[in-house]
Amino acid sequence: MKSVLLIGLGRFGRHIARKLNELGHEVMAVDRDEELVNAVLPFVTAAQIGDSTNAEFLGSLGVRNFDACIVTIGDDFQSSLETVYQLKELGASRVIARAAQGIQEKFLLRNGADEVVYPEKQLAAWTAIRCTAQHILDYIEVNGDYSIYEVQVPPDWSGKTVLQLDIRRKFGLNILGVRRAGQLEMNVTADTLLTQRDSILVLGHDRDLQKCFKV
């Protein structure tokens, strides 16, 4: 179980609060809007109404005690920058910040953010891949060059083992797991037999994934 300080309770922040709650983590939620704070109360451990750009208020939260601080302020980039800076000044161990535009990512990192998420960009990539390749069931970007695809087993792969397909040598790809009847099996060996009813999790360079699965 982790302790998380979540600052910014708009739609994105509320989704994060709900998911952290589902995962069993402790969440301290903060926003200057009382209505937003009240809306998230069922999904968090504690909540505060306050201005996260105020160093005195932020310091009163004990930011050093949290495993991670997430800043999801979306409508006021200046406040987001100031909050990230104050968190690092107060000794926060890990700060994750949301960017709403590409240029914001650079400024947030320069201001002290350890990681930056850009949900609109990530969702756009996911949507583009899904709508142009129906056999791609899911997509996770690992970094700028590598991704994980969940792919329906191609018809000509059905009835063959991982060794027979040899996609590591042919495409530089690795099969991480096989989903069968809704259950994900991660113990993949050279003898694992694939069927057309299965889907597989495949890790690789975007260029190689696109070539292999004709995206």
100 pLDDT band, cuts 50/70/90, is confident
Tell me the pairing of strands 199-205 and 174-180.
antiparallel
- Average pLDDT over every residue of 182-205: 91
101 pLDDT band, cuts 50/70/90, is confident
The pLDDT score that the predictor gives to residue 134 is 62
- Average pLDDT over every residue of 134-146: 77
- Average pLDDT over every residue of 52-59: 94
The pLDDT score that the predictor gives to residue 199 is 92
The pLDDT score that the predictor gives to residue 75 is 76
The pLDDT score that the predictor gives to residue 132 is 65
Give the Cα separation of 38 and 11 in Å (integer): 14
- Average pLDDT over every residue of 4-27: 93
58 pLDDT band, cuts 50/70/90, is very high
Q: Which residue's entry shows tokens 């998230």?
A: 40
Give the Cα separation of 187 and 185 in Å (integer): 6
Model confidence, pTM: 0.68
Does the structural domain 122-213 have CATH classification 3.30.70.1450? yes
User: Domain 3-117 is of which CATH architecture?
Assistant: 3-Layer(aba) Sandwich (3.40)
158 vs 75, more confident: 158
Q: Which residue's entry shows tokens 């990230």?
A: 84
The pLDDT score that the predictor gives to residue 129 is 67
Domain layout of the chain by residue ranges:
3-117, 122-213
Give the Cα separation of 77 and 93 in Å (integer): 22
